[in-house]
Amino acid sequence: MAVGTFPGERASLGHKATSSFSSVTSTHTQRPLSRPSNLYRPLFGEIIPLCDLYSIANVVVFPSSPSSSQTPFQPNPQQNRNGNAGARSAPPSPFIEALQNIGLGSPSWSASAISVFTIILPATDGYVTRSDFLKLRLQDFPYKILRTYEPLRPLQKYSATCPAPGPVTSEHDLATLVESAAGVVQWEDLPTSVSFVDLEVYRTRLAEELRDRLHNAPWLSSTPISRKRVALIRGRPNITAGGPVYRAAKALGLDLVIVDEEGHWLQADTEENKMHREAFLVTDMTEDSGVVDRIIQSIVNYPLPIHGVFTLSDNFFVAVAQVAEALGLPASPVSAFETSVDKYRSRLLQNVPGQTARVSSVRELESLLSSGSHQQAEFTPRFPLIVKPTKGWSSECVSKVNNLDDLATAVQKATSRHGSAAVIEPFFDGPEMDVNFVLLDGEILFSEIADEPPCDADSSAATVHSTFSPEALTLPSVLPAEEQDIAKSTLRDILVNLGFCTGVFHVEARMVNSTSEYRKQDGVVDLVRKHAVLMSESGVECKLIEINARPPGYRVSVPTRHTYGVDYFAAHMLAAVGDKSRLRLTTRPYSHVLGGNTNDSTRGGQYWSRLVYIPAPVAGTVQWPYKLPPCEELKRRRPDLADKIVLGVDYCVPGDKVELFTDGARTYVAHLLVMSRESRRDAIILGEEVQKAFSIDIEVPASSGTEVSDGETDVDANVEGSK
């Protein structure tokens, strides 16, 4: 990014800092600074109080003095045999040496660029809550970061250095700040052609952006943090899905133990696996009446204390809650999980009399419709309806039914999955959304709403075979603030009344009678205000679709971590071990205000983001004709999109077999997250462009053509809660 193009003009952080810089640099325009250690690379350092929690030291290193052509900071090679310098040599720079000692700077400094460093200095002593805190808070920074230095270990005590605000005139003092810093950032060099006015603007905006990311987010705890151990029941299926969990545990100083089947990829005691977990406890995970006792036995037999248990696998929620209850570990009540995993019982939390039923077979459906049962005699189908398994995930085997003829087809599909019954419930018309919460004793520490645009089954032309598989997510939500408040209060109350008071929860819902609707406007489909004549006179309601008592799946958690700076996996593990203090500290979003909107509904996001799902275009065998993963190939082919793609994740490798559908849900081959600092509309357009430009080569078997299949796929592990 060019200096002077930082988005969002705002008032300067302080005139004192600005004026002091101007006075020093104006001197530099007349003559090189003359301190001995800066003979060839003059620099300027300044301490700026960023907020109550942090000060920063910004250091600007200017190009070499024109009076010398030798390599900066190196002895002059032009010496005679008697050791006398043929030209004046530059003594070592303490500041530069300190930078190079921590791996920053460069062994060959450019003589034609301006280097900028920021030293992060917490204002008080404390204990490290998370060792990669700076990396998390500075991700996707508008100015390019070359390197980041974070020397702090998780849980260690940090002693604060509190220098006085103002210019730093001693390189030895700057070197001391580097050595005692909580973190140091090296920014991309600036060209020497930049004016001092633009350089001053750059420094001011740099400090403003750092303030928005750090001012409400303590890195340190005022009290010591005890080291704890947490058990993950069922490890993740691969490093892509598991990496965010393992990295978060390591950064938090949590010792992670995996409980899973023989043959899991994390079982072997390799050096790489030891980086991800402390131990692997081989356990028979067959889902029968004895699985809880087997998990308990594995944990009890482990020689070190385990302070919490958790799972990210939907079909093990109840079992893990029973394990926690038996061992006296922190967890929500078993009864809460039993309700949340049963779609019929959770539907009854907002029951619509006469429109909800549960059947275990088509024959039972026929009996219900012909004569009714003593339990469901009032059931009268009102179309459209939704039919789905009482036990399921990721929109598997969920059908929209518009007529009586298709009802049996939908029930047959739903009851064939997991051997569970089918729930028949109303279809709630309105914008669908993901509402995510981090709760502590019923208090909302953090919540966000992501808008889910209409899917195939939302169409007026949808059939019983159409799917509810998501196509994209857009953050932050553009629903009116009052409707977002209704959604959050309604769903939070449902969670707490069930007994879910502490933890991370991923709830799916719809806004009925919303004042907004999805409509194409200026070529873009997005939520817009309804025309007055179409607005319902009924009150706006938030209708629950389902409760997932866990973070969103890894691909849906990614946008939150990047957009808001909140890591759901970290929060989930801290809740599991009962670390309430750190749970509160690690759920602070950024303080950005998007588009000048001071409404709290958009506060905290550093940009608008769009998560794009890439479904398999055909069934067949994956190929990589360009020898590059498709996401990487897309960025190389379309450099105009590359810097807008925050990340791209491919799910398959050459040779993988993919189907169009997996258990009634679309099979995905990748997801990409795009961002825009300009507008939500721009983020949506970028997402659509990325989706169109994405290319994957799938070889279709000659005998099958492009026939739709409901077979299994090697691509996506839906059972692991991918949404």
d(CA 231, CA 280): 9
The confidence score (pLDDT) of residue 8 equals: 37
d(CA 94, CA 177): 11
Reported as a single tens digit per residue, the pLDDT across 478-533 is 999 999 999 999 999 999 999 999 999 999 999 999 999 999 999 999 999 998 64
Q: Which token pair is 355?
A: 């429109």
Taking alpha carbons only, the member of 568, 564, 574, 577 closest to residue 550 is: 568
Taking alpha carbons only, the member of 230, 280, 293, 140 closest to residue 645 is: 140
Q: Is the pLDDT of residue 630 over 90?
A: yes
Reported as a single tens digit per residue, the pLDDT across 41-76 is 678 899 999 999 999 999 999 876 554 443 333 333
- The angle that helices 94-101 and 171-180 make with each other, rounded to 10 degrees, is 20
d(CA 624, CA 614): 16
Q: Is the pLDDT of residue 663 over 80?
A: no
Mean pLDDT of the 184-193 span: 93
Q: Report domain 228-331's class.
A: alpha beta
Domains 228-331 and 428-606 share a fold: no
Q: Which of 531-535, 578-582, 662-666, 685-689 has the lowest mean pLDDT?
A: 531-535
pTM: 0.88
CA angle 634, 637, 643 (to 5 degrees): 70
Count the helix, strand and coil residues of the chain and give each as a percent rounded to the nearest 5: 30, 25, 45
Three-state DSSP at 75 gives coil
Mean pLDDT of the 196-213 span: 96
d(CA 587, CA 133): 12
With cut-offs at 50, 70 and 90, classify the pLDDT of residue 232. very high
**% of the chain at pLDDT higher than 70:** 83
Q: Which token pair is 315?
A: 């079909």
Q: Is the pLDDT of residue 17 over 50?
A: no
Q: Which residue has the higher pLDDT, 537 or 139?
A: 139
Rounded to whole angstroms, the maximal C-alpha distance in the chain is: 112
Q: Is the pLDDT of residue 707 over 80?
A: no
d(CA 71, CA 493): 66
Q: Which residues have CB under 8 Å from 665's CB, separation 6+?
A: 394, 395, 396, 397, 398, 467, 468, 469, 718
d(CA 481, CA 487): 10
Burial grade of 243 (CB within 10 A; 0-12, 13-18, 19 or more): middle
Q: Which amino acid is at 62?
A: F
Report domain extents, the chain. 15-221, 228-331, 428-606, 608-720
d(CA 285, CA 395): 24
Q: What are phi and psi of 537, to 5 degrees?
A: -85, -10
- Strands 385-389 and 308-310: what pairing? unpaired
Q: Which token pair is 510?
A: 């719809």
d(CA 477, CA 485): 12
Q: What are phi and psi of 527, to 5 degrees?
A: -70, 125
Name the CATH code of domain 608-720 (choices 3.40.605.10, 3.30.470.20, 3.40.1210.10, 3.40.50.10130): 3.30.470.20
With cut-offs at 50, 70 and 90, classify the pLDDT of residue 91. low
Three-state DSSP at 421 gives coil
Q: Which token pair is 563?
A: 């957009």
- The angle that helices 554-564 and 239-252 make with each other, rounded to 10 degrees, is 50
Find out whether 356 and 426 touch, Cβ atoms under 8 Å.
yes
**% of the chain at pLDDT higher than 90:** 71
* N residues, the chain: 723
Find out whether 258 and 266 touch, Cβ atoms under 8 Å.
yes
DSSP character for 201? H
Three-state DSSP at 426 gives strand
Reported as a single tens digit per residue, the pLDDT across 413-432 is 999 876 789 999 999 999 99
User: 428-606: which CATH architecture?
Assistant: 2-Layer Sandwich (3.30)
Reported as a single tens digit per residue, the pLDDT across 267-304 is 999 999 999 999 999 999 999 999 999 999 999 999 99
Reported as a single tens digit per residue, the pLDDT across 454-477 is 998 888 788 888 888 888 999 999
With cut-offs at 50, 70 and 90, classify the pLDDT of residue 37. very low
From residue 656, alpha-carbon distances to 78, 282, 652, 696, 716 in Å are 63, 28, 6, 12, 11
In 374-532, which ranges are E strands?
Answer: 385-389, 399-401, 422-426, 432-440, 443-452, 472-475, 503-512, 516-521, 524-529
d(CA 708, CA 570): 39
d(CA 571, CA 440): 10
From residue 275, alpha-carbon distances to 135, 161, 246, 368 in Å are 19, 32, 8, 56
The confidence score (pLDDT) of residue 353 equals: 77
- Strands 166-168 and 43-49: what pairing? antiparallel
d(CA 564, CA 609): 10
| SS3 per-residue string spanning 111-135 | CCEEEEEEEEEECCCEEECCCCHHH
Q: Is the pLDDT of residue 624 over 80?
A: yes
Q: Which residue has the higher pLDDT, 4 or 444?
A: 444
The confidence score (pLDDT) of residue 682 equals: 97
The confidence score (pLDDT) of residue 376 equals: 52
d(CA 404, CA 385): 10
Q: Is the pLDDT of residue 108 over 90?
A: no
Reported as a single tens digit per residue, the pLDDT across 322-359 is 999 999 999 999 999 999 999 999 999 998 778 899 99
With cut-offs at 50, 70 and 90, classify the pLDDT of residue 29. very low
Q: Is the pLDDT of residue 78 over 80?
A: no
Return the number of other C-beta atoms located less than 10 Å from residue 268's C-beta.
11
Find out whether 720 and 555 touch, Cβ atoms under 8 Å.
no
Mean pLDDT of the 310-326 span: 97
Taking alpha carbons only, the member of 274, 130, 220, 227 closest to residue 565 is: 130
What sign has the CA pseudo-torsion 424, 429, 435, 440?
negative
CA angle 191, 179, 173 (to 5 degrees): 75
Mean pLDDT value across the chain: 86
Q: Which of 6-20, 200-214, 229-243 has the lowest mean pLDDT?
A: 6-20
Mean pLDDT of the 386-409 span: 88
Mean pLDDT of the 106-130 span: 87
Q: Which residue has the higher pLDDT, 620 or 34?
A: 620
Q: In what helix (H) or strand (E) does residue 634 lie, and over which residues does it extend?
A: helix 630-637
Find out whether 118 and 185 touch, Cβ atoms under 8 Å.
yes
The confidence score (pLDDT) of residue 107 equals: 52
Taking alpha carbons only, the member of 616, 531, 571 closest to residue 310 is: 571
